[in-house]
Amino acid sequence: MPTAQLINELQSCGVRLVDPTAGHESRRGGAGPSDHKAMTIDGMTVMVPVHTAPAFASPYVVEKPDALGRSRISRDGVTLGKVSFPVRPRFYDRSTADGIPYWKIAVLHSRDVLATTVLQSCIRYQSRTKTCQFCAIGQSLAAGRTIERKTPAQLAEVAKAAVELDGVKHMVMTTGTPPGRDRGAAILAESARAVKEAVDLPIQGQCEPPDAAIWFERMRAAGVESLGMHLEAVTPEVRQRVMPGKAQVSLERYFDAFAAAVPVFGRGQVSTYILAGLGDPTEAILVACEKLIALGVYPFVVPFVPISGTPLESHPPPSSAFMHEILGALARMLRSGDLRATDIKAGCGRCGACSALSTYEREGVA
């Protein structure tokens, strides 16, 4: 089986770990990939669900790794490939002068990405009628696994250590949406500026579309090289159902913001995250991707993962056949549009661990 398809299968079904302690700690709750574990398969480090209900029943099994973290993945007793686990980052052992462990400020994603949620609260999260149904941003905060507001100085300190001790290559700064018309752009800009003063690390900022295009200029001037503004779903019906608060920011508003951001950050340096499997049909996702690519926006399509404790925890993940159809076609569209994950300076599109998309791009899977 080509690696792209194996990764696609694993991300749809999840895996059972014979040794649940394999690899470094997996995250549960929080923004971004959760209930996953990072694994490297054929040189690609990907996030694979391990704590979700489908993963507990998955036909794919990862054996207990050896002392060097190497293992094998099998199905029905047949070995499908070799797997290794990224080691626990060394910066996790450090704390700030006031006693906050660095891992509560930023975490390692995949193999070489430093990720932080600058503001671990969101105007949409407190209300059942507004919250994005897939989001777990408040869970890690409630469990004491992070702090609500990471200061620029804390982020700079952790980023410097993560580069020096663990060789991280880029940084993702996301944020819950604060009250205010900048939608988080201001705190991303001040955080990026502080990190850049401390260490040379490419940064992606992720926020909702701010109210004025000047915020793109401000973020770029502060050191944000790549920008993510995440549609999550592409049809008004699905957006209204799964993200009733965020759906008030219309698709038109997002597309206007993409058109304004690309000239500032550059073609291919603006991206969006699309969760496939929430109800948007294949055709609608591909039509949206075509429109995005024409604007110079990289559509990072990832399979939806039902995170425990969220309103969508029982929603099934998409089938690997559904994802294969989308990712194969999307990889071809990206090639025609001359957009590549490997050209992105920082962020989820460059990391690629939450989707098999970049492996489809690499392998040219049709």
Residues that bind ligand SF4 (CB under 6 A): 32-33, 47, 109-110, 113, 115, 172, 348, 351, 353-354
Q: Residue 298: what residue type? A: Y
- Angle CA 262–267–271, to nearest 5: 70
Closest by Cα among 232, 222, 96, 101 to 177: 232
One-character DSSP codes across 215-268: HHHHHHHHTEEEEE---B--SHHHHHHH-TTGGGS-HHHHHHHHHHHHHHH-TT
The Cα–Cα gap between 217 and 253 comes to: 18
Closest by Cα among 236, 249, 252, 234 to 177: 249
Burial class of residue 151 (count of CB atoms within 10 Å of its CB; 0-12, 13-18, 19+)? middle
The Cα–Cα gap between 137 and 337 comes to: 34
Q: Residue 249: what residue type? A: V
Q: Cβ distance 136 to 30 under 8 Å?
A: yes
Helix 185-198 to helix 152-166 angle (10° resolution) is 50
């979700």: which residue's tokens? 52
> Length of the chain in residues, anyone?
366
The Cα–Cα gap between 21 and 29 comes to: 18
Closest by Cα among 155, 139, 158 to 205: 155
- String of b and e for 63-99 (b: at least 16 CB within 10 Å)? bebeeebebebbbeeeebeebbbbeebebbebeeeee
